[in-house]
Amino acid sequence: MAILCPSTAIYHLLFSSLLLFFSCYVSGIPIYGAEEGKDGFHSTPVSSLLPKNKCSASARGGSQGLPITQKYGPCSGSGHSQPPSPQEILAEMNPDSITWTQCKPCVRCLKDSHRHFDPSASLTYSLGSCIPSTVGNTYNMTYGDKSTSVGNYGCDTMTLEPSDVFPKFQFGCGRNNEGDFGSGADGMLGLGQGQLSTVSQTASKFKKVFSYCLPEEDSIGSLLFGEKATSQSSLKFTSLVNGPGTSGLEESGYYFVKLLDISVGNKRLNVPSSVFASPGTIIDSGTVITCLPQRAYSALTAAFKKAMAKYPLSNGRRKKGDILDTCYNLSGRKDVLLPEIVLHFGEGADVRLNGKRVIWGNDASRLCLAFAGNSKSTMNSELTIIGNRQQVSLTVLYDIQGGRIGFGGNGCSK
Ligand SMILES: *[C@@H]1O[C@H](CO)[C@@H](O)[C@H](O)[C@H]1NC(C)=O
Ligand SMILES: *[C@@H]1O[C@H](CO)[C@@H](O)[C@H](O)[C@H]1NC(C)=O
């Protein structure tokens, strides 16, 4: 589905047991500020806003769960020698839901992929659908950045851990896979609300509860299911709400929440909450940066520019298709006083953003507000999408049966 706002999977899920490596398309992610800044501002070293090129082993996430790394970061294994620019990372919205992996025999296989599932070596594998009336025999997934996976549906027993075994797990057996899914990626894990997502297919045991912490590029986060996910403390919860019911967005498995307003440097924008309520606000980990309806985005950039008035704007060099338009030249400066941005969700769940959750760029002479406005010409231009850039280092708990999403933590290594 083409939504207005650029996205691509930038997170990698490293499966230790089970089928293989998946590139992780979660639906949703955020970050809490360390603490409330003085008057809503944080003095931030400019160097901390730039990409890091070394994986910090000490930053490893908790020992539990499935490790997650940034696809373009130094912790993702062989990785990319030159990380793509934000402009290159920002592509198109991705479809969610099904889980697929590469299968033998493979007509076209992903580069750097090491493992393939061999259906003929499995006694429990069956071709086609095992969830009545859901799928035919073949699937064809095309992602926003034009990567594709085409193959057949199949079913087999999925083992996440020795104690977590799911017979008749429906997945895509990819025979023809092309594009940049990340170095060493062998497939995709669907965490949406659709019937075929991993969340739905493991509901008997995990009760549709999972959590993730998306790491910064130099550390390792984790994905947890079921009870392990709920064992984390001090989360702030907001309710999951119904989507618009008409736009096809719900069918695509997105998670809708109630965003009420946004603050910049302790001042509320006072955008009417109806702006965020129709057609709604989704949390999506497949979308890179948070995208707002124009009315909210104009208010945000105006407040941000006011708060950053003492810093020079970076002019020129805006490439065609670059949706980041509020950029500063901070070269030669050691620190910058950044306004904290707070997302005020329903039920008092305030998510505080600072540092890299607020500013993004590869180079100190051009660091940009990491939010974008929806283009009017695109479908769903009034939709608000909370992207993964704003979720970095936050624990995000999806409690689908409890009808709520929890935010917490500061850093993935707890
Ligand atoms: C998959 O879908 C795309 C886009 O609809 C189409 O161009 C392509 O030919 C399809 N591939 C196969 C093998 O069906
Ligand atoms: C950024 O600022 C520095 C120092 O003031 C200046 O030398 C440089 O030309 C500026 N670069 C851009 C791209 O504006």
CA distance 50 to 362: 6
316 found inside a domain:
yes
Indicate if ligand 1 lies below 6 Å from the C-beta of 140: yes
CB atoms within 10 A of CB 49: 19
Q: What is the DSSP letter of 389?
A: G
17 found inside a domain:
no
Q: Global pTM?
A: 0.83
Nearest CA, atom 9, ligand 1: 140
Q: Is-contact 199 255, C-beta < 8 A?
A: no
Nearest CA, atom 10, ligand 1: 140
Q: For position 89, what pLDDT does the model report? A: 47
Residue type, 214: L
Indicate if ligand 1 lies below 6 Å from the C-beta of 142: yes
**Radius of gyration for the alpha carbons in the chain, expressed in angstroms and rounded:** 21
CA distance 405 to 238: 5
The CA–CA distances, whole Å, from 252 to 41, 101, 243 equal 38, 20, 11
Indicate if ligand 1 lies below 6 Å from the C-beta of 150: yes
Pairwise pLDDT comparison (12 vs 370), residue with the higher score: 370
Pairwise pLDDT comparison (192 vs 300), residue with the higher score: 300
**Is residue 143 pLDDT above 60, yes or no?**
yes
Pairwise pLDDT comparison (217 vs 330), residue with the higher score: 330
Structure tokens at 293: 């309806």
Q: For position 156, what pLDDT does the model report? A: 93
Q: For position 5, what pLDDT does the model report? A: 44
Same domain? For 226 and 258 the reply is no
27 found inside a domain:
no
Taking the alpha carbons of 279, 11, 58, 405 in that order, is the dihedral positive or negative? positive
The CATH number of whichever domain residue 134 belongs to comes to 2.40.70.10
Same domain? For 222 and 317 the reply is no
Q: For position 107, what pLDDT does the model report? A: 86
What's the domain count of the chain? 2
Least confident of 19-28, 174-183, 226-235, 293-302: 19-28
Least confident of 58-72, 85-99, 153-167, 299-313: 85-99
Q: How many residues does the chain have?
A: 414
Pairing state between β 384-386 and 281-283 = parallel
Ligand 2 closest atom vs CA 366: 13
Q: Which of 78-101 are b and which e, b meaning 16 or more Cβ less than 10 Å from the residue's Cβ?
A: ebeeebbbbbebbbbbbbbbbbbb
6 found inside a domain:
no
Indicate if ligand 1 lies below 6 Å from the C-beta of 141: no
pLDDT-based confidence at 254, cuts 50/70/90? Answer: confident
- What distance in angstroms lies between residue 7's CA and the mean position of ligand 2's atoms? 30
Same domain? For 111 and 135 the reply is yes
Same domain? For 282 and 311 the reply is yes
Same domain? For 225 and 243 the reply is no
- What distance in angstroms lies between residue 318's CA and the mean position of ligand 2's atoms? 15
Q: Which of 142, 152, 173, 175 to mutate to test the pocket of ligand 1 (most atoms within 8 A of CB)?
A: 142
CB atoms within 10 A of CB 333: 13
CB atoms within 10 A of CB 261: 18
52 found inside a domain:
no
Same domain? For 220 and 86 the reply is yes
Mind listing the pLDDT tens digit for each residue in 69-102?
776 677 766 444 444 554 444 433 444 588 888 8
Pick the last residue of a domain from 187, 214, 230: 230
pLDDT-based confidence at 216, cuts 50/70/90? Answer: confident
Dmax of the chain from CA atoms?
A: 67
Which domain covers residue 156, as residue numbers?
63-230
Selection from 341, 343, 351, 371 nearest residue 260 by Cα: 343
The CA–CA distances, whole Å, from 75 to 13, 33, 282, 296 equal 11, 23, 28, 35
